[in-house]
Amino acid sequence: MTKDWEKNLNTLLIAGTDTDAGKTVVTTAIAAYWQRYYPQGSLALMKPLQSGTGDRELYQRLFELKQSPKEITPLYFDAPLAPPVAAHREGRSVDLKQLWPVFTQLQERFSFVLVEGVGGLGSPISWELTVADLAHDWGIPTVLVVPVRLGAIAAAVANVALARQAGVRLVGIILNCVQPRSESEIADLTPIDLIESFTQTRVLGTIPCLEDSHNLDQLVQVASNLDLEILLPRLPIWNP
């Protein structure tokens, strides 16, 4: 299933260091910015696997998507557990073969496909494979979301090492404040120079803790402070 990276320039995977790193905030912020400023380009959101109610339902509330629920999340399990565990509880298996056709069809139909990972980069999506394996096998340029908290530097270093071991095309890191942080706290907990030095990976911006992470205006604003030249496909910007 591996695809050449150059053919995936209209696709971006949002991965995290772990659960609750802020993948959904990053995904919805980029999606909100795209829909506001690139209306000439179509957008698809994909959460390949989901366990329990969550991201798929949020996408449907926030955005007008020209996708069916099955195209957003081809594999859906009821229990909020790791997919292989949730599937086992339901007497099912994680059939990853269902994901690839949906992914390639979305690439063909839409200008930009945002894919949100499950849990962390090392989280299992089956009994054999992790999110990192999926990113490699699908050849998707990937962004790593690192939460601003104690231990963030080690988490960034470990996950970038995992990405390299798995052959993931990592395009950058986004820092996300999972709780309110001052500028000095952000600098102390996630010093950009140190993270970039240890990981040899560019930090593409920092997202503050949002009062309302479902507010589209706030999401657009925080996305505008990210390095969008790296994150977005190269389409002409819309001038109303």
Q: Is the pLDDT of residue 1 over 70?
A: no
Q: Is the pLDDT of residue 79 over 50?
A: yes
Residue 240: the pLDDT is 40
Give the number of other Cβ atoms within 10 Å of residue 41's Cβ: 17
At residue 26 the predicted structure's pLDDT band, cuts being 50, 70 and 90, is: very high
Q: pLDDT tens-digit profile of 91-114? A: 888 888 899 999 999 999 999 999
Question: Is 47 labeled as catalytic in the residue annotation?
Answer: yes
Residue 150: the pLDDT is 96
Residue 53: the pLDDT is 77
Which residues are CB-contacts of 86 (< 8 A; sequence separation ≥ 6)? Answer: 51, 52, 77, 78, 79, 80
> How many angstroms separate the CA atoms of 123 and 173, rounded?
18
Q: Which of 3, 23, 47, 97 is catalytic?
A: 47
> How many angstroms separate the CA atoms of 116 and 46, rounded?
6
Residue 234: the pLDDT is 62
Q: Is the pLDDT of residue 84 over 50?
A: yes
Give the number of other Cβ atoms within 10 Å of residue 58's Cβ: 17
Q: Which ranges of the chain would DSSP assign to H, the alpha helix?
A: 23-37, 55-62, 69-72, 83-89, 99-109, 131-138, 152-166, 183-189, 192-199, 216-223, 228-231
Tokens of 48: 């390949």
Question: Which percentage of the chain shows pLDDT scores above 70?
Answer: 93
SS3 for 240?
coil
Q: Is the pLDDT of residue 134 over 60?
A: yes
